[in-house]
Structure 1
Amino acid sequence: MSIENRINLEIDDTKKTAINTNLSGLKTELSPILIALPANQKKALPKIGEHYMDFVERAVEGADKNPMLVPPYINLEEVKVDMEAWKLLHSIERDLERLVSLLDDTATLSGSEAYSSMLSFYNFLKQAAKDGVPNAKPLYDNLKQYFPGTGNKSNTQNTEEE
């Protein structure tokens, strides 16, 4: 029986360096303009989505055409700056969410394949240790620590006595 290998991803040092450089550049550019909000403040803020941005744009257009209707406590130029910032940041956020989702899927598959293969090796090694295959028992004993409480009762008692 062969374990299906759906991914075989090797990332060379040049690619790793390029990725880290680009991530560092993104952090450098975004960090000075980003704000961290406490959870309670963030929860209390009215939220906007693309549908409501359409409302904001139409309201700004209406306010531009009818400045006499704009209350003096609203700075329309600041609203326009905030609106453009939201559009840019939301676009970046969507791109990053897609990228993070792909990163998560790829990392999940890579890790799953490595874990599944070595779990099969571990189970094979467990039987080899029981059968007295040379060098199997020390390696099995070294690896079984990752699975506490999964052995039989005599193994559990021996582990507790040690």
Structure 2
Amino acid sequence: MSRTTVSATLATKDRDAVLQAIATIKEKLPFLIDLSAEERKALPKMGDKSRAFVSKALEAATQNPDFLPRSFDLEEMRKDVQLFEALYPLLLSLTQLQELVDDTFLAVGSEAYAAALQVYNYAKASGQGSGLDTVVEEMGQRFARKSRKGKSQEPVL
């Protein structure tokens, strides 16, 4: 397995610009909703196979509105289909972006943690009396576990 390293910085002004861009996206999509897990589970899902079905149903309803009950809102269905189609490329693009941010966040966090473990081990190896005792003890709290004997354990690295 190859080890990917990330060597980059994110300037505060660039981070703020990205956050502003995200705020702008939210502003341009004021109709976005937040569903609970139960609500998501209860909804029928429209995937790739269902897209053709929905498209044909809309076409059939548009060309033959007489068989629909008066309570059926064909215009609302049309708006829903159009919005779904408009959101689809946004969803793909944002999903790809989120995967990139997630992967970079994971890799950079892993690199930082691995470096911190090295610092901890070097500090422990430098021995007592080097002025690092308190820092080593504080860092060691990360690995403290309550065992049956009441003794804390540290990882073997």
Residues 1:119 and 2:128 aligned together: no
Aligned residue identity for 1:26: I
- How far does residue 101 in structure 1 lie from its aligned partner after superposition? 0.9
Gaps of 5+ in 2: 153-157
Q: 1 CA distance for matches of 2:134 and 2:80?
A: 64
Tell me by how many angstroms 1:141 deviates.
1.7
Describe how 1:94-113 pairs up with structure 2 within 5 A: 94-113=92-111
TM-score between both structures, scaled by the size of structure 1: 0.79
Superposed, which structure 2 residues align to 1:7-86 within 5 Å? 7-30=6-29, 32-86=30-84
Counterpart position of 2:130: 134
Q: Between the two proteins, what is the percent identity of the paired residues?
A: 30
1:41 deviation in Å? 3.0
Residue type matched to 1:73 in 2? S
Q: TM-score, normalised on structure 2? A: 0.81
Partners in 2 of 1:36 and 1:138 — Cα distance? 46
Q: How far, CA to CA, are the matches of 2:108 and 2:54 in structure 1? A: 44
Moved more, 47-56 or 104-113: 47-56
- Report the number of matched residues: 149
Structure 1 residues 142 and 5: CA distance shift in structure 2, 3 A: farther
Equivalent residue letter for 1:103: V
Aligned counterparts of 1:41 and 1:18: Cα–Cα separation in 2: 34
Q: Which has the higher helix share?
A: 1
- Give me the whole-angstrom Cα distance separating, in 2, the residues matched to 1:38 and 1:11: 33
Counterparts in 2 of 1:116 and 1:33: CA distance versus 1, 3 Å: same
Q: Which runs of 4+ in 1 moved over 6 A?
A: none
